[in-house]
């Protein structure tokens, strides 16, 4: 009477194999009898086409009424599941490892592939495939990763195991090219979760691009991811970056990603007086202040259930800051000139500033407790000079009669455009000034430079400032002299030497840094601030326009007044 052997492939299938007396069978993914000893080559074969099964996995034979099992150097080993009460004899030349219950899995990290990178939506599948391939290489697993347009015609079972649909209309297919261990199914599960996450990122970025925000460079895409995470967690966001880098668009992106039903309302804190700003934020009754002839519905009331964007939060008057702090602590506010009725509103707050708000807070120019309320997630938005892919993407999106604003530039003009310290307002003006009938490559570097001279607040210098035209070598700084000069000015202004840490910060920020800037950039030899070519100075010291403007202003206010 034959004996029965139940062969189970972990996580996939099982099958019953019959063994007669003196019968033998070689089980594997691609069993080869020639790999056995000559005495065993009379066995028959049984194939299980599963990645976790080795090519020659197990030899089973029946002799004397008992079943003998020989593991033939499989990668995963062979595990026995014994019926209760049965026993087994084990013959081994090596130490045995016994584990009860389910077969083991390899204790590897459960982290998935790194975030995929792509510059254009059409490259999404390519970036994803590269990240997945790198992950499997790191794990030491031999797989083939490929992509192709998704025709949605693949069998459901295949799609479930290793064929993953992507958000840009392609699919990612992962096929093992060698024997895998018992954790293969877990790796596929991790891969499914990873692809779902990347698809969600792709869809979110598409929505943002459709709103007009440029998302091409890796740095701004990381910023976009930060905004999305903060929106999902209902965190308040503080955007820090120079003017014209896209902070307003990111605030609107936060509102969309938060999926809140209320409106998006923006207020600029630098454009209103104390009374007007307080009224615009929290409302006012007629006669509450001079010029208040009608009731004003405040932004926090109108914005209930939505997102309030406070631009230039660093310029908010100190007298208004306590009212905002109270609202953020308890969600309560009062209208100016009212009867003292306390009102409630549910608002998510996004703030933005182009100044170093941490330093301003440490100097006492901004309330420390308010800083901690608004800085749930601090997001630094890099300047366009650090985002050349975004400059190119913006110009490609601007259509002209015979192409787009990028293709009409010749190679030298493109280099000039990518090297310029843009903000989006200036970049928009540049695109608008390009000849609408220009042919591909028809705008050279000279024409490009002329447009930059026309639109820039401080036209580009035709020749470098005299101070740094003397030599192309790197300037040699006399740090001791500059530090001493800065100290003398500090002492003259404050009437004492450096005593406290705040004195040190003030000395470095408002005295030493402007002197270092002037020395490095050549601004020291300028007779007037109006003679400064901002782009040239920024290029000379490899800094953004905001930094140049700030230290140029401080230098002329204190050291050349």
pLDDT (tens, 9 = 90+) of the chain, 561 residues, equals 677 788 877 555 678 888 888 888 998 888 888 888 888 888 899 888 776 788 888 888 888 778 888 888 786 778 777 777 777 777 766 666 665 544 444 334 457 898 887 767 788 898 899 889 989 888 888 888 999 887 655 444 344 457 888 988 898 999 888 777 767 888 888 998 899 888 888 888 888 888 888 888 888 988 998 998 999 899 999 999 988 889 999 999 999 988 889 999 999 998 888 888 888 898 888 877 766 667 888 899 999 999 999 999 999 999 899 999 999 999 999 888 877 788 899 999 999 999 888 888 888 889 999 999 999 999 999 998 888 889 998 999 899 988 899 999 999 999 988 888 888 889 999 999 999 988 888 999 899 988 988 887 765 654 444 333 333 344 456 788 888 888 888 887 777 888 888 888 888 888 899 889 888 888 887 777 767 777 677 777 877 766 877 888 888 878 876
Domain final residue pick, 426, 455, 484: 455
Residue 114 lies in a domain: no
Q: Kindly state whether residues 360 and 278 are assigned to the same domain.
A: yes
Residue 302 has a pLDDT of 93
Residue 372 has a pLDDT of 92
- Tell me the CATH number at 99: 2.60.200
Number of domains observed in the structure of the chain: 5
What is the secondary structure of 196-245 as a DSSP string? HHHHHHHHHHHHHHHTT----SHHHHHHHHHHHHHHHTT--EEEE--TTS
- Tell me the CATH number at 255: 3.40.50.300
Q: Are strands 237-240 and 348-353 parallel, antiparallel or unpaired?
A: parallel
Residue 433 lies in a domain: yes
Q: Which of 68, 57, 52, 46 is nearest to 104 (CA)?
A: 52
Residue 228 lies in a domain: no
Q: Kindly state whether residues 444 and 486 are assigned to the same domain.
A: no
Q: Using CB atoms within 10 A of its CB, is residue 58 exposed (0-12), middle (13-18) or buried (19+)?
A: buried
User: Distances in Å between the alpha carbon of 280 and those of 63, 260, 373, 437?
Assistant: 93, 22, 20, 46
Q: Kindly state whether residues 437 and 480 are assigned to the same domain.
A: no
Cα end-to-end span (Å), the chain: 110
- Interacting residues of 83 by C-beta distance below 8 A, sequence separation 6+: none
Which tens digits make up the pLDDT trace of 132-173? 998 988 888 888 899 988 765 544 434 445 788 898 889 899
Domain final residue pick, 318, 353, 380: 380
Q: Kindly state whether residues 61 and 154 are assigned to the same domain.
A: no
CA dist., res. 414 & res. 20, Å (int): 79
Report phi then psi at 436, rounded to 5: -70, -25
3-state helix, strand, coil in the chain (%, to 5): 40, 15, 40
Residue recorded with tokens 């499989």: 74
Q: Kindly state whether residues 245 and 369 are assigned to the same domain.
A: yes
Tokens representing residue 127 in the block: 């970036």
Q: Kindly state whether residues 334 and 413 are assigned to the same domain.
A: no
Residue 13 has a pLDDT of 65
Q: Kindly state whether residues 321 and 425 are assigned to the same domain.
A: no
CB 54 within 8 A of CB 33: no
Q: Kindly state whether residues 246 and 376 are assigned to the same domain.
A: yes
State the helix-helix crossing angle for 274-282 and 321-330, rounded to 10 degrees.
20
CB 334 within 8 A of CB 341: yes
Q: Kindly state whether residues 148 and 278 are assigned to the same domain.
A: no
Residue 464 lies in a domain: no
CB 214 within 8 A of CB 220: yes
CA dist., res. 323 & res. 81, Å (int): 70
Report phi then psi at 47, rounded to 5: -105, 130
- Interacting residues of 510 by C-beta distance below 8 A, sequence separation 6+: 554, 558
Residue 227 has a pLDDT of 93
- Three-class SS state of 32: coil
* HEC string for 397-436: HCEECCEECCCCECHHHHHHHHHCCCCHHHHHHHHHHCCC
In the DSSP assignment, the letter for residue 460 is P
User: Distances in Å between the alpha carbon of 199 and those of 229, 260, 312?
Assistant: 15, 22, 34
Residue recorded with tokens 């230039």: 312
CA dist., res. 530 & res. 553, Å (int): 10
Domain that holds residue 192: 121-210
- Three-class SS state of 112: coil
Measured over the CA atoms of residue 202, residue 208, residue 210 and residue 214, the dihedral's sign is: negative
Tokens representing residue 533 in the block: 């070519």
Q: Kindly state whether residues 284 and 366 are assigned to the same domain.
A: yes
* HEC string for 128-158: HHHHHHHHHHHHCCCEEEEEEECCCCCCHHH
CB 408 within 8 A of CB 442: yes
Within 13 Å of residue 332, how many CA atoms lie on the same side as its CB? 6
Residue 121 has a pLDDT of 77
Q: Kindly state whether residues 199 and 239 are assigned to the same domain.
A: no
Report phi then psi at 276, rounded to 5: -70, -40
- Three-class SS state of 386: helix
Residue 189 lies in a domain: yes
Residue 94 has a pLDDT of 66
Residue recorded with tokens 């130490």: 95
In the DSSP assignment, the letter for residue 84 is T
CB 277 within 8 A of CB 330: no
- Interacting residues of 537 by C-beta distance below 8 A, sequence separation 6+: 465, 521, 522, 523, 548, 552
CB 303 within 8 A of CB 350: no
Residue recorded with tokens 């400064």: 532
Q: Kindly state whether residues 55 and 31 are assigned to the same domain.
A: yes
Residue 461 lies in a domain: no
Domain final residue pick, 380, 405, 423: 380
- Three-class SS state of 377: strand
CB 29 within 8 A of CB 54: yes
pTM, full prediction: 0.58
Query: Considering all CA atoms of the chain, what is the largest pairwise distance in Å, rounded to the nearest integer?
Result: 110
Residue 459 has a pLDDT of 57
Residue 115 has a pLDDT of 82
What are the beta bridge partners of residue 400?
A: 403
Residue 465 lies in a domain: no
Residue 157 has a pLDDT of 39
Q: Which of 264, 249, 252 is nearest to 425 (CA)?
A: 249
In the DSSP assignment, the letter for residue 21 is T
Residue 224 lies in a domain: no
């Amino acid at each position: 009477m034959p004996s029965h052997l139940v062969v189970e492939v972990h996580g996939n299938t099982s099958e019953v194999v019959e063994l007669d007396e003196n019968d033998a069978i070689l089980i594997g993914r691609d069993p080869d009898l020639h790999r056995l000893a000559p005495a065993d080559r009379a066995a028959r074969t049984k194939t299980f086409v599963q990645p976790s099964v080795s090519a020659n996995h197990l030899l089973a034979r029946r002799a004397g009424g008992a079943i003998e099992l020989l593991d033939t150097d499989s990668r995963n080993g062979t595990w026995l599941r014994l019926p209760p009460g049965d026993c087994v004899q084990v013959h081994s030349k090596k130490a045995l490892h016994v584990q009860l219950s389910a077969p083991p899995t390899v204790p590897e990290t459960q982290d998935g592939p790194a975030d995929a990178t792509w510059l254009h939506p059409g490259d999404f599948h390519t970036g994803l495939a590269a990240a997945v391939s790198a992950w499997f290489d790191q794990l030491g697993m031999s797989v083939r990763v490929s992509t192709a347009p998704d025709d949605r015609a693949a069998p459901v079972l295949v799609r479930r195991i290793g064929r993953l649909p992507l958000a840009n209309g392609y699919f990612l297919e992962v096929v093992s090219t060698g024997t895998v261990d018992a954790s293969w199914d877990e790796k596929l599960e991790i891969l499914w979760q990873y692809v779902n996450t990347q698809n969600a990122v792709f869809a979110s970025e598409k929505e943002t691009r459709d709103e007009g925000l440029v998302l091409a460079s890796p740095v701004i895409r990381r910023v976009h991811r930060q905004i999305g995470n903060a929106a999902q967690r209902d965190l308040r966001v503080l955007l820090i970056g120079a003017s014209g880098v896209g902070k307003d668009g990111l605030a609107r992106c936060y509102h969309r990603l938060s999926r809140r039903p209320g409106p998006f309302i923006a207020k600029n804190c630098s454009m209103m007086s104390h009374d007007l700003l307080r009224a615009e934020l929290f409302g006012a009754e007629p006669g509450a202040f001079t010029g208040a002839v009608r009731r004003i519905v405040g932004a926090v009331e109108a914005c209930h259930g939505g997102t309030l964007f406070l631009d230039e939060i660093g310029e908010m008057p100190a007298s208004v800051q306590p009212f905002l702090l109270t609202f953020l602590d308890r969600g309560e506010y009062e209208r100016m000139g009212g009867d003292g009725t306390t009102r409630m509103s549910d608002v998510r707050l996004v703030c933005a500033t182009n100044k170093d708000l941490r330093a301003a807070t440490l100097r006492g120019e901004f309330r420390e407790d308010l800083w901690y309320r608004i800085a749930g997630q601090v997001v630094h938005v890099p300047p366009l000079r650090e985002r050349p892919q975004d400059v190119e993407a913006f110009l490609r999106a601007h259509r002209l009669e015979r192409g787009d604003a990028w293709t009409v530039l010749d190679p030298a003009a493109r280099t000039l455009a990518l090297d310029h310290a843009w903000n989006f307002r200036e970049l928009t003006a540049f695109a608008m000034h390009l000849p609408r009938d220009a042919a591909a490559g028809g705008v050279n570097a000279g024409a490009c430079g002329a447009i930059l001279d026309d639109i820039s607040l401080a036209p580009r210098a035709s020749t470098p400032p005299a101070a740094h035209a003397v030599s192309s070598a790197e300037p040699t700084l006399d740090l001791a002299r500059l530090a001493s000069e800065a100290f003398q000015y500090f002492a003259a202004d404050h009437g004492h030497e450096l005593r406290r840490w705040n004195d040190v910060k003030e000395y470095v920020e408002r005295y030493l840094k402007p002197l270092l800037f002037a020395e490095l950039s050549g601004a020291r030899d300028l007779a007037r601030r109006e003679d400064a070519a901002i782009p040239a100075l920024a290029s000379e010291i490899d800094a953004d326009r905001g930094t140049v403007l700030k230290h140029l202003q401080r230098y002329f206010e204190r050291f050349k007044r």
